Amino acid sequence: MTQEVLINTQAVVIGSGPGGYVAAIRLGQLGVKTVLVEKGQLGGVCLNVGCIPSKALISASKLIEQARHAKSMGIHFEGLRVDLKALMTWKDSVVGKLTGGVGQLVAGNHKGNPDAVVRGTARFVGLNELLVDDGAGKVTRIRFENAIIATGSAPSSVPGFEFDGVHVLDSTGGLAFDTIPKNLVVIGGGYIGMELGGVWQRLGTAVTVVEFADQILPAFEADLVRPVFKRFIASGGEVLTGTKALGWSKREGGGVRVQVEDRKTGTRRELEGDAVLVTTGRRAVTDGLGLELLGLIPERDGTLRVDGEQRTALSHIFAVGDVAGQPMLAHKASKEGEVAAEVIAGEPSAFDARAIPAVVFTDPEIASVGLNTKEAEAAGHKVKVGKFPFAANGRALSLNDTEGFVRVIIDAETSVILGCEAVGPEVSNLIAEVGLAIEMGALASDLGLTIHAHPTLAEAVMEATNAALGHAVHAINR
């Protein structure tokens, strides 16, 4: 027998990922009565089966790799082994701490509201009404003034490689092996493929990456990708660029055979693996929401068009995160969630970020923020570029990790900082100061004259900026 409950609220947020839960928390801070709807675990894809668990495994696998190469530092590890079950338990504990924290934050910012979180699958049944079905006989009818759609995205497959959870895996399956594969075929050499492929390679798997484009990580400049490619190959990996995945079949005795074709020569070959990991992209999740009833028509990729306040074509319906379009990044989603919440609360707010950072947690890491050289020139800037290698950075030398560089792009006439690209140790942490500089409209001299602690990796950012001005101290300026 179905039980129906009615809730009246000022705002409802559908989805508790980095966009949704941040929106719900911000709405609570601003005194807006809110219901957060989630059909799965709080935290969404990012916290549960994406950003956080993958980075936990990346950190652990990099530690193993460091141990393997510690001989040059006079440190010898004998009998190094991986207890995968214990590693997965630790990974899950990291996830648990964060998802539990999300629940506490939402509840803490909506004190006195017993309906702050409602579990189940949401579907619009009117312009100001939706139903939430918990799948166990309880349906909650929510009447709202404003709604935020934050339903995220899901992995998209390629023809002939539909996910079955056993032979053909998505990114979630790529985080949950119960034994370390001997061989793994990864289709898609973008950031997910290279991150997860790198994890299993460092844990001992023979990994082959199949990429349709002419280089892995095609969104980045070739010289940024080169150190990642070089280290991946040196560690025993294989990369097939300019290659199309045609299909797969079961291998006798278990595993798969994958047929691929070189796009230029037409040469075909067969790859073997314990499984196929498909990481060719993601599609926004808007199916089943009942948007057609509202007159909202998603784009072909499932996304919804929004304005600077995150409003859809209906002024009281907002969309944030992956549903609101590229780039599909957690930190972009969180900022959009804040904006939507503030607009609903009547605050003057808009998504007007000048630069959204991008990071790939490969080995070494790649990070960028703002414009690269080609983008800056296309926007009409005359540019100057400063580049500084980690091989000349004292901290990188002491970490025994000197591959890569930092590159800073500035306007040649005004010296305004336009962007930064980097590959090397911990560059994910280094680009934040350049992001701040871009948002401030800072000059290269503002960053270059700032005293950076020594010895730190951040000095490479300062040196690259000064190199753009023509006077880096620890590099030959040309």
Q: Given strand 417-424, what is the order of strands in its sheet? A: 358-360, 365-370, 417-424, 405-411, 383-389
The C-alpha atoms of residue 326 and residue 305 are separated, in whole angstroms, by 11
C-alpha–C-alpha distance, residues 300 and 304, integer Å: 10
Best CA proximity match to 318, nearest among 334, 300, 336: 336
> What single letter denotes the amino acid at residue 212?
F
110 as an active site residue: the answer is no
Query: Of 158, 169, 216, which is closest to residue 189 (Cα–Cα)?
Result: 216
Alpha-carbon distances of 455 from 291, 307, 329, 399, 464, rounded to whole Å: 55, 45, 32, 11, 15
Compute the distance between CA of residue 309 and CA of residue 336 in angstroms, rounded to an integer. Answer: 8
Angstrom distances, CA of residue 123 to CA of 93, 111, 283: 32, 26, 19
| Residues 44, 434: Cα–Cα separation, whole Å | 29
Per annotation, catalytic residue among 76, 167, 454, 474? 454
Helix/strand number for the chain, H first, E second: 14, 22
Task: Mark 230-262 as b/e (b = at least 16 C-beta within 10 Å).
Answer: ebbeeeebebbbebbbeebeebeeebbbbebbe
In terms of Cβ atoms closer than 10 Å to its own Cβ (0-12, 13-18, 19+), residue 399 is middle
Residue type, 358: A
Contact 279, 157 (CB under 8 A): no
Catalytic residues: 454
